[in-house]
Structure 1
Amino acid sequence: MTVQASASAGGRPEWVNAMPAVFVVLWSTGFIGAKYGLPYAEPLTFLLVRLALVAVVLAAVALATKAPWPKTWREAGRIALAGLLVHGVYLSGVFCAISKGVPAGVAALIVGVQPLLTAALSGPLLGERVSGRQWGGLLLGLVGVALVVSEKVHFDSGNVAGVGLAVAALLGITFGTLYQKRHGTAMDLRSGAAIQYAATAAVLAVAAPLFETMQIRWTGEFVFALLWLSFVLSVGAIFLLFALIRRGAAARVASLFYLTPPVTAVIAWAMFDERLGLLALAGMAIAVGGVALVNRA
């Protein structure tokens, strides 16, 4: 098979074209994994075990494959900071918000504002231009996300702390994506990810004992959720995210997060028989159309 035969009409290999779709599906399973694992461990404790496990595995892989490591402490510090934002602030915010009673739909909707926030900041921070068509697609995607989650939103106005944690998660994934685009695109994914997970696990090792009992019930469901979130999400999905950030503009990559709530809803329907109404189906279609507008060549 020649290179031309294995490439798409646009001149890129098929696996490159499939990366966004695979990322969306993998990222969407995060809420499903949380639903399986959080009943058996507190959120920071769960994340500490998960990220420490991944850090050890990736460090071993980086050493075994002789991956290059950062040449200066400054470079390593920048890599670690991006990891603390993307992994520490985002994941901790989402997990803790859900554990405090914020419905998953509300958390998804708050974090779903990320593409708009990223687009607004990518110009002054990265010098990227967001066209009028892309702004229209971002707004259309936000409308679609709102329709998908609106059927299941039961917002408790008194849950200020939980909502604040979800907003912190939004800021973490937004600034983490922008910072990674600006300072971390040259990092080796093996050694760089190992540094990011180790740095985040070190912070959680201090925070978890302060706020939680750190008790874990090692059930089959918890082990499955831990392994899935550790390797499919924290390795597979994150590697895809960083690869997409390298290849595309930050606003275009961020628009993919609009597809997460609809795809999560489909997975929840298949696994837990959570029904989708006409409003949710319409929102899914609108969100897909918004992403298509943002990413159209």
Structure 2
Amino acid sequence: MNALLSAAFVLCWSSGFIGAKLGAGTADPTTLLMWRFVPLALVLIAVAAVSRRAWRGLTRREAGRQVAIGALSQSGYLLSVYYAIQLGVSSGTTALIDGVQPLVAGALAGPLLRQYVSRRQWLGLWLGLAGVATVTTADAAAAGAGVPWWAYFVPFLGMLSLVAATFLEGRSRAAVAPRAALTVHCVTSAVLFSGLAFGAGAAAPPADSSFWLATAWLVVLPTFGGYGLYWLIMRRSGVTEVNTLMFLMAPVTAVWGALMFGEHFGPQTAVGLAIGLAAVAVVRRGAKPSRTAVVERVEETDGTHRDADPATVRAPSR
């Protein structure tokens, strides 16, 4: 099950970069993002009104936390990705820059969440960085001088936004149902992107059918698939593992972009893909559940305890 969820997550999350590329030439990023989230938020609100069970236990304080998480993990992250692609950064390169996220999350997991990373996992994380650097070099060389140098820092800001959301969620001890969290996040994004679109005078959608095709793509695959699976896998397997899977986004997106848009893909990109796969294998072998983690999972199924990240091994400080 973990392997299937991981594979589905990688494909669905990578589809977000492809969808952004599809919609880049049809409208302003705020327009595309507004029409991606407004209908989705309305549907989720209607579902929430019918089924209120998922909202039990959601306090006002935790609702505010979920609003902040949605603003960081959806609004901040996606806006940076869309603007980077609009500026000319390829979908593969954008995913490659976001691939630095696992190292940042891994380095901060210990001091912020007391979820310490083993030596084998650090080896995998650095191996993944080597794979990201390999593919990034190839894509940057193929892009040429048509993209301003500062455009490559835009997705970097989005990566930091997603890391902040991950740790904000990890520090929470409240049992918030994924459906309720997704609803709050999407409503937050709908409000923020609508405000940005109306403020820029770009709220009206274009009549181009490709715009609506890109919108439908983005709602179904990256939102329900990628975003939902992101939090599910993080709760099942921990911060380090879910962020290690991010190493696969860059090479998978590079392959997808090459097949769909003719973006550069050569031997160096293939080598980077192989290194990324090896990094995931190393980190997964380094994460062996301890007796404490097993006890925490049993207690959670009995409803007597809920840890912020029960599947992550909490080794003693060392």
- The bucket for the TM-score relative to the shorter chain is 0.7 to 0.9
Aligned to 2:294: none
User: Where does the alignment leave 5 or more consecutive residues of structure 2 unmatched?
Assistant: 289-318
- Using the alignment, how far apart are the partners of 1:184 and 1:36 within structure 2? 39
The normalised TM-score by structure 1 is 0.88
Cα deviations across residues 142-185 of structure 1 (Å, max 9, x unaligned)? 11122123222137699365334222101111111121222277
Pairwise CA distance, 1:209: 2.9
Does residue 39 in structure 1 map to residue 25 in structure 2? Answer: yes
Find the counterpart in structure 2 of residue 244 from structure 1: 233
User: Which whole-Å CA distance do the structure 1 matches of 2:6 and 2:194 have between them?
Assistant: 33
Q: Does 1:262 align with 2:251?
A: yes
> Matched residue of 2:116: which SS?
coil
2:9 corresponds to 1:49: no
The AA in structure 1 aligned to 2:40 is V
AA aligned to 1:44 is T
CA RMSD of aligned residues (A): 2.1
2:108 and 2:246 map into 1 onto residues whose CA distance is: 16
Q: 2:5 pairs with 6, 19, 23, which one? A: 19
Find the counterpart in structure 1 of residue 48 from structure 2. 62
SS of residue paired to 1:151: helix
1:81 is aligned, of 68, 72, 75, to 68
Task: State the AA in 2 paired with 1:190.
Answer: R
2:311 paired residue number: none
Percent of residue pairs bearing the same amino acid type: 36
SS across alignment from 1:152: helix
2:73–2:161 contact (8 Å) kept in structure 1: yes
CA 1:252 to 1:133, structure 2 compared with 1: closer, same or farther past 3 Å? same
**Aligned partners of 1:110 and 1:166 also within 8 Å:** yes
The alignment covers a number of residue pairs equal to: 283
- Answer yes or no: is the 8 Å Cα contact 2:13–2:225 preserved in 1: no
Corresponding residue number in structure 2 for 1:171: 160
- Of 205-214 and 174-183, more deviation after overlay is shown by 205-214
**Aligned residues of 1:114 and 1:170 also touching (Cα < 8 A):** yes
The Cα of 1:212 is off from its aligned counterpart by: 5.3
Matches within 5 A, 1:108-257: 108-153=95-140, 154=143, 159=148, 162-183=151-172, 186-211=175-200, 213-257=202-246
1:99 to 86, 92, 101: 86
Shift of 1:92: 0.5
Partners of 2:102 and 2:77 in 1: CA distance:
14
Unaligned runs of 5+ in 1: 1-14
The 1-side partners of 2:80 and 2:260 are apart by 25
Change (3 A) 1:203 1:184: farther
- SS for the counterpart of 1:187 is coil
Please report how far the alpha carbon of residue 242 of structure 1 lies from its aligned counterpart in structure 2 after TM superposition: 0.8
Question: Once the 2 structures are TM-superposed, how far is the Cα of residue 130 of structure 1 from its aligned partner?
Answer: 0.5
Deviates more, 1:136-145 or 1:173-182: 173-182
**TM-score normalized by structure 2?**
0.82
